[in-house]
Structure 1
Amino acid sequence: MRDETVPGGGVDRFWSEVDPLILGGRRVPALIRIRETFGVGIRDGIDLLGERYETLQRERPGDFTVGRDGYWDGFHS
């Protein structure tokens, strides 16, 4: 994602607001923000959410409130 695709502050600012939702297991609110910001459909939004989840798992694994095994439980696409 390029900075110009995120209005009002760039990609880093956007993710700094959405990362806590992802880390807290709040997938649906995170997906809604991703879709609103990037103007994408559900499938692309889920893909972006999954990519960011994997990035955070690599960079901040101890910050998740939900373990990897149960993170996607009940979340069907």
Structure 2
Amino acid sequence: MTDGAAIDVADDRILAKQIIRGLMVIREHLGCSLHEALEVFAARYEVLRVERPDDFVCSRDEYGVGFYS
């Protein structure tokens, strides 16, 4: 998977609230630990909230409900 494709797939997962799948894409692409993937995911989430707020399937308050890391 190319860099751009991996970012697009991770972004799609983040926007769709597919947290586990997003973390898996990031880990596979970067070859990093789960902790590092969580940091990358959180940073990319914030960028997407600014750049593409209307593309999220739920509000900021609802996003992490039910997900425990």
Give the TM-score taking structure 2 as reference length.
Answer: 0.89
Correspondence 1:42 to 2:56: no
Can you list the C-alpha shifts for 1:18-41, whole angstroms capped at 9, x where unaligned? 211110110100001111111111
Q: What residue in structure 1 maps to residue 2 of structure 2?
A: 9
The residue correspondences of 1:1-77 to structure 2 (distance < 5 A) are 8-10=1-3, 12-77=4-69
User: Of the two, which has the highest radius of gyration?
Assistant: 1
The size of the alignment, in residue pairs, is 69
What amino acid maps onto 1:9 in structure 2? Answer: T
State the Cα RMSD in Å: 1.2
Name structure 2 gaps, 5 residues minimum. Answer: none
Query: Runs of at least 4 residues of structure 1 off by over 6 A?
Result: none
Name structure 1 gaps, 5 residues minimum. Answer: 1-7
The percent identity for this pair of structures is 33
Say which structure is richer in helix: 2
Can you list the C-alpha shifts for 1:38-76, whole angstroms capped at 9, x where unaligned? 111111110010011001000000000011001011222
Q: What residue in structure 2 maps to residue 5 of structure 1?
A: none
